[in-house]
Amino acid sequence: MKLILATYNEGKVREVKKIMKEFEILSLKEIGFDEEIVEDKETFLGNAMNKASFVHDRLKDRFQDFFVLADDSGLEVKALGGKPGVFSSRYAGENATDEQNIEKLLFEMKDIPFENRGANYTCAMVLIYPDSSFITSIGRCNGKIAFQPKGKNGFGYDPVFLTEESNYKLTMAELSEDEKNKISHRRKALEGILNGYRGNKI
């Protein structure tokens, strides 16, 4: 069964291919799909649904019996009222780099003590079936925001996200790819999708 992964992020493609072995997974790049997918909703789940629906509608005349999987994710900081949220990738501006986004985040949190620096990565996923029905899943990874970046792995806010699993000693960027994938918000959301898919098959 074909599954189209509605992302241009090759890191996401590799991660999903390792986990969702029931499917023949194809990225947008692999099928030659290059249309812009707008992310203009106010929630992660809204953006994930928008992406999945857009890709499914565009491809329904091209493929038969295919699934579409989409996700939207970001960082939510409690002391900032949930920001940056759906604006995580463009927090410091529309074309901001990861470093610029982190710099803005740390500046806004410069006076917040460690005990109040709680945050979570959130990932919302939508799987659309061939008949246009769908299931959803949300995964979260808890942690705290460090006072300065550490580590060279990962991307986004990983260098300042201290993981709960390490007792807030290591950032996501200090973990190996395999270590990160075991605890990540995306892994947890994927597991929810897989459990829903397998349950629906019974």
Predicted local distance difference test score (pLDDT) of residue 63: 85
Looking up tokens 């493609």 gives 13
Domains of the chain: 2-201 (3.90.950.10)
- Residue from 34, 72, 98, 178 carrying the catalytic annotation: 72
65 is catalytic: no
Taking alpha carbons only, the member of 1, 60, 54, 57 closest to residue 200 is 1
Of the pLDDT bands very low, low, confident and very high (cuts 50, 70, 90), residue 201 is: low
Q: Is residue 164's pLDDT more than 80?
A: yes
Predicted local distance difference test score (pLDDT) of residue 62: 87
Predicted local distance difference test score (pLDDT) of residue 102: 97
**Contact residues for 54 (Cβ-Cβ < 8 A; gap 6+):** 6, 35, 37, 38
Strand 134-145 to strand 118-128: parallel, antiparallel, or no bridges (unpaired)?
antiparallel
Of the pLDDT bands very low, low, confident and very high (cuts 50, 70, 90), residue 198 is: confident
What digits encode the pLDDT tens for the residues 34-55?
998 888 899 999 999 999 999 9
Of the pLDDT bands very low, low, confident and very high (cuts 50, 70, 90), residue 202 is: very low
At CA 86, angle to CA 188 and CA 49, rounded to 5?
Answer: 65
Average pLDDT, the chain: 92
Cα 198 from chain centre: 22
Of the pLDDT bands very low, low, confident and very high (cuts 50, 70, 90), residue 178 is: confident
State the Cα–Cα distance between residues 99 and 177, nearest whole angstrom: 20
* CA-to-CA separations, 84 to 27, 75, 108, 145, in angstroms, rounded: 27, 6, 11, 13
